[in-house]
C-alpha cells in the first residue's frame, strides 16, 4: 500500500500545484471583490444594494457544480469562451464572492451604530471610519467563517477535475487508471487535502487570537 502511494506521489505534484493555484486565485479574488461588494451592500445607494443582493442570492442559490458547468458550457453562447482552467476559477470565484459578501455584511453590521457615530463625531471620513474603526472590530467576526470558507475552497477545487483540469483529484484518478489500486490513492489524496486544510485551520486560530480583544 505504501509502495503504491510512493509510486503515485510524483505524479500528484503537478496536480497539487494546480489545486493550490485554483484555491489561491479563488480565495484572493473573491476576498477583494467580496469586501468591496459587501461594503456596497451595506452603505451603497439603493439600486447598487439591490444589484449586489440579487447577485449574492442568485449565486448562493445555485449548486456550485451547476455553476461550473454553466460557466464552461453556457458562457460561450454569450461570447465568453474560457479555457477549462479559467472557467473553473471563474465559477468558484463567483461562488466564493457571494459568500464573502455575506460574511462582510454580517461582520460589519454587528458593530453598534454608536461606533460609527463616535467616529463621525471626531471628524473621520467614511473611508477613515471603515479602516480605523469598523474593519478592525469586524475582523474577528469575519475571520472564523471566512477561514472556514477558505478550506471549503480548497476542497471545492476538486470539482475542477470534472472539466478536465489536471488538479490533484484528476491526477489521482489518472494514476488509478493506470494501476487499478484505488484505495491507497484515495487515502493519499485525502491525507494531502487534510494536511493543507489542517494547516489553514491552525493558522486561522492564531489569527483569531490576534484579533480578539476584550469587548466592552
Q: What x/- string results for residues 67 through 106 when contact with another protein is judged by CB under 8 A?
A: ----------------------------------------
Q: Which of 67, 119, 143, 175 binds another protein (CB under 8 A)?
A: 119
Is residue 1 within 8 Å of 184, Cβ to Cβ?
Answer: yes
Q: How many CA atoms, within 13 angstroms, populate the side-chain half-sphere of residue 28?
A: 6
Binding-site size for another protein (CB under 8 A) equals 22
Is the C-alpha dihedral spanning 56, 62, 68, 74 positive or negative?
Answer: negative
205: CB partners within 8 A, 6+ apart: none
Contact between 183 and another protein by CB under 8 A: the answer reads no
As measured in angstroms, the least distance from the Cβ of 128 to another protein is 5
Contact between 122 and another protein by CB under 8 A: the answer reads yes
Q: Which of 10, 123, 177, 209 binds another protein (CB under 8 A)?
A: 123
Q: Which of 1, 6, 117, 210 binds another protein (CB under 8 A)?
A: 117
Contact between 118 and another protein by CB under 8 A: the answer reads yes
Is residue 92 within 8 Å of 157, Cβ to Cβ?
Answer: yes
Is residue 99 within 8 Å of 59, Cβ to Cβ?
Answer: no
Of all helices (H) and strands (E), which one includes residue 198?
Answer: helix 182-211
Q: How many CA atoms, within 13 angstroms, populate the side-chain half-sphere of residue 200?
A: 23
Q: Which of 25, 71, 133, 188 binds another protein (CB under 8 A)?
A: 133
State the residues that interact with another protein by CB under 8 A: 112, 114-115, 117-126, 128, 132-133, 136-137, 213-216
Amino acid at each position: 500500500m505504501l509502495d503504491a502511494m510512493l509510486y503515485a506521489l510524483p505524479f500528484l505534484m503537478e496536480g497539487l500545484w494546480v489545486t493550490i493555484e485554483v484555491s489561491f486565485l479563488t480565495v484572493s479574488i473573491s476576498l477583494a471583490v467580496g469586501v468591496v461588494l459587501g461594503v456596497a451592500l451595506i452603505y451603497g445607494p439603493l439600486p447598487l444594494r439591490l444589484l449586489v443582493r440579487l447577485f449574492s442570492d442568485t449565486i448562493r442559490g445555485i449548486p456550485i457544480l451547476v455553476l461550473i458547468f454553466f460557466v464552461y458550457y453556457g458562457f460561450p453562447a454569450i461570447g465568453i469562451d474560457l479555457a477549462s482552467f479559467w472557467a473553473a476559477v471563474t465559477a468558484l470565484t463567483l461562488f466564493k464572492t457571494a459568500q464573502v459578501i455575506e460574511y462582510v455584511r454580517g461582520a460589519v453590521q454587528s458593530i453598534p451604530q454608536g461606533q460609527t457615530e463616535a467616529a463621525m463625531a471626531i471628524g473621520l471620513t467614511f473611508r477613515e471610519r471603515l479602516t480605523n474603526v469598523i474593519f478592525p472590530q469586524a475582523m474577528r467576526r469575519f475571520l472564523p467563517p471566512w477561514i472556514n470558507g477558505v478550506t471549503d475552497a480548497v476542497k471545492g477545487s476538486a470539482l475542477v477535475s470534472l472539466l478536465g483540469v489536471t488538479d490533484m483529484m484528476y491526477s489521482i484518478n489518472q494514476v488509478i487508471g493506470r494501476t487499478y489500486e484505488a484505495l491507497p490513492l484515495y487515502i493519499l489524496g485525502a491525507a494531502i487535502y487534510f494536511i493543507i486544510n489542517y494547516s489553514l485551520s491552525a493558522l486561522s486560530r492564531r489569527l483569531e487570537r490576534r484579533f480578539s480583544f476584550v469587548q466592552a
